[in-house]
Structure 1
Amino acid sequence: MEPVIELISTGDEVLTGLITDTNAGWLSQQLLEQGWQVRRRFTVGDDKADLIELFEQRSHHADVIIVNGGLGPTSDDISALAMAEAAGVPLDLNQHWLTVMQEKYASRNREMPKSNNKQAMLPQGAELVDNPVGTACGFAIKLNRATLFFTPGVPSELKKMITDEILPRMRRQLGENGRSQVRRFFLFGLSESGLSDRLDSLTWPKGIALGYRANLPTIEVKLIIDTDDSAAIDSAEAQLLSEVGTHLVARDEINFAATMGPLLADKDLMIFEDASAGRLTDTITLITREFEGHYLAGLPDEAQDLGDWLHVSARPIALAIGAAGPQGTPIALKTPTSCMVQTLQMHFRDPLAQRRLLAFVALDMLRRYLADETVMVDYDILPCSERITLPA
């Protein structure tokens, strides 16, 4: 049976929107990658009665609850106190954690404020969850059906504790019970609605569901697999790839340094860019240092002109993003045998989004060339007004 996993985010700042709750989204993603899908998420302010009521209520319905926030040294950090009262136990001083905090301050030649003593007060019977980054001690406690894990709100502390402490505990507690296999596919050029139209109307094998996550410039599609039927899994993957194959840029993770870097090692690549304002150069730098980049204002804004300019100005392998013109922005790839140019129309108003998309199109053209795939393809999110191929 699939375990019920819930998340609780605490704090008035989170509840009122003064702080964006990025922790809950990150947590859900990490758990999904482990094969567990979060069933419900709650947000509650710094009110002790509300916290007690929510902890007690959800403990009857969930197997695992991860509570984020409220473990600091100030008076409004009351998660431990509320949990103790929900469980009907007192708070006890955890001498080990008190010593750990004192040593952390001493290593910085500072005296620990008395208010930090509060962070070593844990509900009686709770199991300490180590926090190697900060002073907020995490803990785990059983109440009714649920095991509740308490974590600090500081993202760097939360992420370290989840990865090193809590996920291993969950694997020991839950084993393979309810864990799904997740296969991830990163796509470029499709809109989220267009992708949904392609995929959601299809019939998928029993035990296989789709998940989506848009993160400009790519969209991640997940196959969430709750079956051991290898034929069904292979069928689902084949069906997905048949619909989106030309837009697939990576599987499992995006790591162009590993996939493209070795192929660029001897290519003597040159880059010219105008409308992308240096974004392509920044992107290529993460893949390889073996290229020559130029940010030039005033590059041609028409496909033919950019192709002609690139033909005489560049080495055999070159990328160029021209200026934005009436027909759109031309993007060219020169190879030893031809120069391919496509002019794309940009409908995104945010300048940073425009630069990221233009750079990614150029990168995609280069990736396709290196992989011996069709270099110029249709992008749903960027209509093409012109496409030409010039001889070398």
Structure 2
Amino acid sequence: MKTHTYVEIVTIGDEILYGQITDTNSQWMGTELNKKGFKVIRKTSIGDTKEEILTILEEAQSRADVVLITGGLGPTKDDITKNTIAEYFGVEMTFHQEVYDNIAELFKARNRELTVLNRMQADIPSNGKVLMNKVGTAPGMWFENGEKTIVSMPGVPHEMKYLMENHVLNQLQEKYHTPFIVHKMMRTMGIPESKLAEMIEDWEENLPEELSLAYLPRMGQVRLRITGVSYDETDLKDKIEKEVVKLRELLGENLYAEEDIDIELVVSDLLKEKGLSLATAESCTGGNIAKTITGIPGASAYYNGGIVSYSNEVKESQLGVTSESLKNFGAVSEQVALQMANNVREKYNSDYGVATTGIAGPSGGTKDKPVGTIWIALSTAEKTEAKLLKLYNNRKLNVTVTTNSVFKWLLEELKSGN
């Protein structure tokens, strides 16, 4: 039995290639198709030319069972998808009264005049099955080409979604017997992708044949996605769970979540659950930790406040960092980080205080303290500790990785009960 039904998504429009609009259709379609057991093997964007459309129609069917097309169905002369599909199949256009009535009703409801060009949207290639679009003027069209299926839809996102949800997905499932596709996401931090791969190499090589592993690195984190494909959903989920138990033990403290959730949300939930509070003192991260926290709804329940102490003067006047420490050790030092974390905790009467001070770059580094030298600190009523991070020659990456490192440390402390 064939395991997969392959799908290729094609977006048509010069505006996509020029970067004037972002193709959100492909991402949404890929997610929804995956839920239904279809495997998207390619996403292609092409311009509004007959040659490109004819070529992709031929090529896509050589790769995929289903070709889903969006774009080029408007009333203007540059929208040529429909006529090109008719030429590809060698058929004439046929007027559809039901489509025309739907267009007329939409225009009447909007108190707009129906033009000749709008009327032409009711012309459909004679071999196409109409998919009624109740939220727009361009209908969807379903074509059978032997065992292959081609569906053409408008590029307007809400119209495409309407047709997918009300016609296309259900009809595809009726035609193709698709397997269950189940994903399990494991979120890690603090370990490079290459080292992580070495750590779990034996486990990965011995995965059941129904399962596969993907590495999804992003800004100091690596997401591990276990994907299973089978016609037996219960057995598939059981096999995934058995492998998760093994992987959990291998990853140890590098694993921070067994779902696709950002670390700040995990920390937020734990702070609220335990009734604990947090304050922040930031230099090199420039308020990014505070911004991340306050971007979470309900952060006022645990976040008391913070200070962006970019200058030494503010470190002294607002955070009580001693001039001796700044003079003897410099702003980027363990001693200053410790004082920042402890003093902001006390200043804002919080259970936790965290601090960052470092050289984010691209300039400001020295031989002893190159760009990427960053100290982070965490303070509680019982202890105040600091850690040295040796990061990158990339300002944005340094800010993001430092922010995530602070959250990871906080998470470890919250889980340990300290």
Bin for the TM-score computed over the shorter chain: 0.7 to 0.9
Distance 1:119 1:153 in 2: 14
- Matched residue, 1:310: 341
Q: 2:379 aligns with which of 328, 334, 349?
A: 334
Contact kept, 8 Å, 2:256 with 2:263, in 1: the verdict is no
Contact kept, 8 Å, 2:11 with 2:44, in 1: the verdict is yes
Contact kept, 8 Å, 1:61 with 1:146, in 2: the verdict is no
User: Do structure 1's residue 293 and structure 2's residue 293 form an aligned pair?
Assistant: no
Distance 1:347 1:368 in 2: 24
Alpha-carbon distance, 1:79 to partner: 1.7
Contact kept, 8 Å, 2:279 with 2:344, in 1: the verdict is no
- Matched residue, 2:190: 189
Distance 2:189 2:229 in 1: 27
Identity %: 25
- Matched residue, 1:153: 155
Alpha-carbon distance, 1:284 to partner: 0.7
Name the amino acid aligned to 1:251: E
- Matched residue, 1:121: 123
Contact kept, 8 Å, 2:306 with 2:344, in 1: the verdict is no
Distance 1:335 1:164 in 2: 55
Q: 1:277 aligns with which of 277, 286, 289?
A: 286
User: Do structure 1's residue 244 and structure 2's residue 251 form an aligned pair?
Assistant: yes
Please, which runs of 5 or more residues in structure 2 have no aligned partner? 316-330, 360-364
**1:165-213 alpha-carbon deviations (Å, 9 max, x no partner):** 54344344435x2332221223333334444444456412221111233
- Matched residue, 1:321: 356
Alpha-carbon distance, 1:225 to partner: 0.9
Name the amino acid aligned to 1:263: L
Contact kept, 8 Å, 1:332 with 1:341, in 2: the verdict is yes
Match of 1:206, SS? Answer: coil
Match of 1:363, SS? Answer: helix
Contact kept, 8 Å, 1:53 with 1:86, in 2: the verdict is no
Q: 1:7 aligns with which of 6, 9, 25?
A: 9
Contact kept, 8 Å, 1:130 with 1:161, in 2: the verdict is yes
Contact kept, 8 Å, 1:297 with 1:323, in 2: the verdict is no
Match of 2:82, SS? Answer: helix
Match of 1:182, SS? Answer: strand
Larger Rg: 2
Alpha-carbon distance, 1:51 to partner: 2.3
Match of 2:184, SS? Answer: strand
Distance 1:153 1:198 in 2: 45
Match of 2:285, SS? Answer: coil
Match of 1:140, SS? Answer: strand
**1:28-76 alpha-carbon deviations (Å, 9 max, x no partner):** 4543454432234444433324423542564466332111322233323
Match of 1:313, SS? Answer: helix
**1:287-330 alpha-carbon deviations (Å, 9 max, x no partner):** 32231233221354212221123223323312222243726121
Distance 2:403 2:265 in 1: 19
Compared with structure 1, are the counterparts of its residues 77 and 305 closer, same or farther at alpha carbon in structure 2 (3 Å cutoff)?
A: same
- Matched residue, 1:379: none
Compared with structure 1, are the counterparts of its residues 270 and 230 closer, same or farther at alpha carbon in structure 2 (3 Å cutoff)?
A: closer
Which has the larger share of helix?
A: 2
Match of 1:353, SS? Answer: helix
Please, which runs of 5 or more residues in structure 1 have no aligned partner? 376-392
- Matched residue, 1:382: none
- Matched residue, 2:402: 358
Name the amino acid aligned to 2:286: A
Alpha-carbon distance, 1:137 to partner: 3.6
Q: Does 47-56 or 79-88 show the bigger shift?
A: 47-56
Compared with structure 1, are the counterparts of its residues 199 and 307 closer, same or farther at alpha carbon in structure 2 (3 Å cutoff)?
A: same
Compared with structure 1, are the counterparts of its residues 18 and 183 closer, same or farther at alpha carbon in structure 2 (3 Å cutoff)?
A: same
Distance 2:99 2:334 in 1: 65
- TM-score calculated relative to the size of structure 1: 0.78
Distance 2:396 2:115 in 1: 44
What is the RMSD computed on CA atoms of the aligned residues? Answer: 3.5
Distance 1:219 1:170 in 2: 34
Distance 1:257 1:172 in 2: 42
Q: 1:264 aligns with which of 267, 271, 277?
A: 271
Aligned length: 371
Contact kept, 8 Å, 1:46 with 1:78, in 2: the verdict is yes
Q: 1:78 aligns with which of 49, 58, 80?
A: 80
Distance 1:119 1:257 in 2: 49
- Matched residue, 2:261: 254
Q: Does 100-109 or 362-371 show the bigger shift?
A: 100-109
Contact kept, 8 Å, 1:59 with 1:143, in 2: the verdict is no
Compared with structure 1, are the counterparts of its residues 262 and 194 closer, same or farther at alpha carbon in structure 2 (3 Å cutoff)?
A: closer
**1:5-50 alpha-carbon deviations (Å, 9 max, x no partner):** 2222334455677777564455445434544322344444333244
